[in-house]
Structure 1
């Protein structure tokens, strides 16, 4: 195994197979990087792979027992080198995720930069604190947005 102690952390990340990284390991990696490093890392094909993997895992990490009878469409707008939109639909104890914006009206829309998104979904960012610090912008149901983390099994680093 190569010693990466002198390497650039973002270069080390670029070589990862994100599909093989567990949620807990992902949380540990994100925790170890600054917002600047995370932002530098999230470019091009790597950004596409990371966002795809994170949203792809939402179905697996969904906690239907916590959601109960909740019905909601959550739109995520991640800003960075380009705006990426994903939608999470929670209904009848299931969670579905799609890339892109539908014509449906979301109950809440969450907007944040790449680094803040990675911190939020890895359990390294508190949504209420991020909102108060204006790192997370919410349009629509703020109560739903502030409680979203309880509907997903989010690792702690």
Structure 2
């Protein structure tokens, strides 16, 4: 495993990085560097990889009986276009749509890319991001509060 300082985030194959290693990389990378990465060409690839793995980290037993659509808006911050993904939890599965649909979500979450990466890697908590106004929540606040229980989020 290379030292964090030796990693070139622009060329790193995020598809080959295990969740615990991803959490370690995010934890050890300065916010400025994450912001630069997520403002560049790798942004969509990193987001696609994170959302593409959600179903593998999903805990169906924890979400038993839930049927919810969550819309994630990852803001560009540089005047570019925001990225929107939707996750549907229901029937013991988690499916991801890599775009906004016409469906009405029970919950919408909006945050910048660095905060999103810290949240999904276990390096930040949703309530802390919310109370520091780095995460905007619209809709079912109880669903937002329980969302982390439905996924096996790495412990960095």
TM-score normalised according to structure 2 size: 0.92
Q: 2:39 aligns with which of 39, 43, 57?
A: 43
1:63 has 2:75 as partner: no
Instruction: Count how many residue pairs are aligned between Structure 1 and Structure 2.
Output: 153
| Aligned CA distance change for structure 1 residues 3 and 36 (closer, same or farther; 3 Å) | closer
Distance 1:129 1:2 in 2: 31
Q: 2:24 aligns with which of 24, 28, 45?
A: 28
Distance 2:139 2:3 in 1: 47
Q: By how many angstroms is 1:45 displaced?
A: 2.6
**What is the match of residue 114 of structure 1?**
113
- RMSD (Å) for aligned C-alpha atoms: 1.7
Structure showing the higher helix proportion among its residues: 1
Moved over 3 A (4+): 1-5
1:136 has 2:135 as partner: yes
1:79 has 2:78 as partner: no
TM-score normalised according to structure 1 size: 0.92
Distance 1:102 1:124 in 2: 29
| Aligned CA distance change for structure 1 residues 67 and 4 (closer, same or farther; 3 Å) | closer
Q: By how many angstroms is 1:3 displaced?
A: 8.0
8 Å CA contact 2:70–2:86 kept in 1: the answer is yes
Q: By how many angstroms is 1:13 displaced?
A: 1.1
| Aligned CA distance change for structure 1 residues 69 and 42 (closer, same or farther; 3 Å) | same
**What is the match of residue 146 of structure 2?**
147
Q: By how many angstroms is 1:142 displaced?
A: 1.1
**What is the match of residue 125 of structure 1?**
124
Q: By how many angstroms is 1:119 displaced?
A: 0.3
Distance 1:134 1:43 in 2: 21
